[in-house]
Amino acid sequence: MKSTLKILTIMLGGVIMISSCKKDNGSTTVYYDQQDQVGRPAINTVFISASGKDSFNVTVPSQQTATFGAEMKANLLALTNPAGVYTLGNPNNALGLNADALIGVLSTDALNVSTKGPTKFFTSTSDFFTGRGLSDDVIDAELTLLFGGPTGASNPTLTSDHVDANDKAFLGTFPYEASPW
């Protein structure tokens, strides 16, 4: 009897959990609705207009360049300054890419993983986006990519948000993230 009661309790819990993930989307029911990808933090924030952010978040990464590439490129080129940091055909960024190629890389919001070495978001101009560790300063890395010039050392006042550490240290064991305040 106890086993039957346990099984029924587990089944009821599963039904409640699955039904809580259900959303009626007009004529169809959607389960496990994705809200954000954030493989590359701040890409959506910087390059997608407010009206398109939710759509970008639920677009399959392989379709993001085709769907949002033109808007992202226009917003990238809007960052052009008098020194010409971004001009089409002038690959003046840490990856050495022109605007089209850079947007091609950035618009696919997926986290790449290196199988040849340690995971790193950015430690030099040759290892952007090979993964991401908890302590990686992703905003500084992206600012360096956009404003750091070919070596990553140009425009030092634009390549850091000056937030260099977390409020609390990461844990040494799983789940690694610091406990909430």
State the sign of the Cα–Cα–Cα–Cα dihedral 157, 145, 61, 178: negative
Query: What letters, b where the CB count within 10 A reaches 16 and e where it falls short, cover 48-60?
Result: beeebeeebeebe
- Concatenating the DSSP letter of every residue in 122-148 gives -SSTT-TTS---TT--HHHHHHHHHHS
Query: Which residues, at least 6 apart from 6, have a Cβ–Cβ distance to it below 8 Å?
Result: none
pLDDT band (50, 70, 90) for residue 88: very low
Give a yes or no: residue 59 inside a domain. Answer: yes
Check if the beta carbon of residue 136 is closer than 8 Å to that of residue 142. Answer: no
Domain limits for position 113 = 43-158
Task: Confirm whether 175 is domain-assigned.
Answer: no
Q: Looking at per-residue confidence, does 142 or 4 come out higher?
A: 142
Q: What is the pLDDT of residues 154-167, one digit of tens each?
A: 778 888 889 888 88
Over residues 57-66, the pLDDT tens digits come to 889 888 999 9
Query: Does any domain span residue 7?
Result: no
